[in-house]
Amino acid sequence: MSGLHDVSVARTVLVGVTGGIAIYKSVELVRGLVKDGLRPLVVTTEAAQRFVMPLTFAAVSQAPVLDDQSAWQGSGGWFQHIEAARAASVMVVAPATANTLAKMATGIADNLLTATYLAFRGPVIVAPTMNWAMHQHDATQHNLRLLADRGVEVLPTEQGELACGEEGSGRMASPETIRLAVRRALAASARGPLAGKRVVVTSGGTRERIDAVRFIGNRSSGKMGRALADEAYLRGATVTLVTTQPPTGAAYDVVSVESAAEMAAAVGDAVRSADVLVMAAAVADFRPAVDERGKIERGERETLTLELVRTVDILASTARPGLYRVGFAAEAGPRLDRARAKKAAKGIDLLVFNDILAEGVGIGSDENEITMLTAEGEVHVPRTSKAACAHAVADQIEKGLAG
Ligand code: CTP
């Protein structure tokens, strides 16, 4: 098993691959991990090799693939499972079939992958995939609960069309979601103030119903909020994203809402046990006074007047001791004065200001330029990716929580 000791344990990820049709996504996952600067070490079961040849994984991981053959045929020595377990900092099983999950839950170690799992001491992530009926079966659900209770991170399956042609929940999480979970597990060793905290993030623009087909909305894409939710998750927080733009296959809880009233109710529920609230959503300030059940007809009208009434100010209404609140102020122009006034009026801990008229940033864009108003002063972040902005905001939140 020479070679395993040469690689850096801190950056090595054991990737257990089992025999599920979602295995084609594992090839992309392994490529992605390499792109993230990590060293994937692939361990496959025999069933996995009926779907994808080991050579494919060896090529994308740039390392030999470990399997039952290598375990017994001398190249790996007698203790390949122990050596493999010692060589990595995190283990991910993707796809994780019902069969392998059952073995992991009961401690059966009849192949290299499950034996390695038993010998491994670090964080383990599983990405289940199977037919919806198999997924819902009491046996599978029991096994998943057992694993979760033991600290295994069980990634949610996605809803949609399954390989068997049926519809339901059982699709494997996307390679991006799994990569994020791996990065989180690796980062969790450096635990900051957000680790273990409950964080509620809102994102997207609300839609206020005019009638059965129309609404008042705005152009918010939800990207900044998503980046913030991802960043909090990466830092080990338990995240709930309340959003009008639900992402598919997030690694954390997503509550899908439409209107300001729905968002207010969902946030009200979620913040009860939360430590941090980040209101990145573009909440409508007004909604139509009447929600017409049918469709307003044009008829002979030349004009149409809608009466609008104020919506609830979610941020202002969630103030309570022990809840660190972050607001956003998207202003038309360099109106830091307005942002400062908003921070004071809403009594919040941190306000993130951005100028929506600035070139190439803000609504819908992948980039942003922000100024953070904190209790201590103002911090400017020049134009950069929304992910980098989220990083800077999370740093400020951590400073606030620690201080
Ligand atoms: N916000 C909220 N509930 C609302 C409106 C806004 O919680 N009904 C939150 C936003 O999510 C944001 C912050 O309050 O974090 C500031 O929102 P913004 O629209 O910039 O400010 P307003 O308070 O609506 O003031 P104005 O429209 O006059 O700029």
Read off the pLDDT of residues 115-144 as tens digits, 9 standing for 90 and up: 999 999 999 999 999 999 999 999 999 999
Peptide bond between residue 95 and the one before it cis (omega within 30 degrees of 0): yes
Regarding the beta carbon of 311 and ligand 1, being less than 6 Å apart is answered: yes
Query: Which of 201, 285, 286 to mutate for ligand 1's pocket (most ligand atoms within 8 Å of CB)?
Result: 285
CATH code for position 219: 3.40.50.10300
Atom of ligand 1 lying closest to residue 202 CA: 11
pLDDT above 90 covers a percentage of the chain that reads 81
CB of 29 closer than 8 Å to CB of 106: no
Residue range(s) defining the domain that contains residue 154? 4-186
Per-residue pLDDT tens over the stretch 308-364: 999 999 999 999 999 999 999 999 999 999 999 999 999 999 999 999 999 888 788
User: Where do we find the tokens 């005019």?
Assistant: 210
Q: Please say which residue of 165, 186, 207 terminates a domain.
A: 186
What per-residue confidence (pLDDT) applies to 3? 45
d(CA 12, CA 184): 14
What per-residue confidence (pLDDT) applies to 73? 64
Together in a domain, 304 and 199: yes
Which residues are identified as catalytic?
164
Closest residue to atom 27 of ligand 1, CA basis: 285
Regarding the beta carbon of 93 and ligand 1, being less than 6 Å apart is answered: no
pLDDT above 90 for 228: yes
Query: Which of 201, 202, 328, 349 to mutate for ligand 1's pocket (most ligand atoms within 8 Å of CB)?
Result: 328
Regarding the beta carbon of 313 and ligand 1, being less than 6 Å apart is answered: yes
Together in a domain, 241 and 318: yes
Regarding the beta carbon of 327 and ligand 1, being less than 6 Å apart is answered: yes
- The tally of domains found in the chain comes to 2
Together in a domain, 302 and 245: yes
Together in a domain, 233 and 84: no
Per-residue pLDDT tens over the stretch 13-57: 999 999 999 999 999 999 999 998 899 999 999 999 999 999 999
What per-residue confidence (pLDDT) applies to 74? 55
pTM above 0.75, yes or no: yes
Regarding the beta carbon of 233 and ligand 1, being less than 6 Å apart is answered: no
Together in a domain, 232 and 162: no
Mean pLDDT score across all residues of the chain: 92
Q: Please say which residue of 186, 219, 245 terminates a domain.
A: 186
Ligand 1 center–CA 314 separation, angstroms: 8
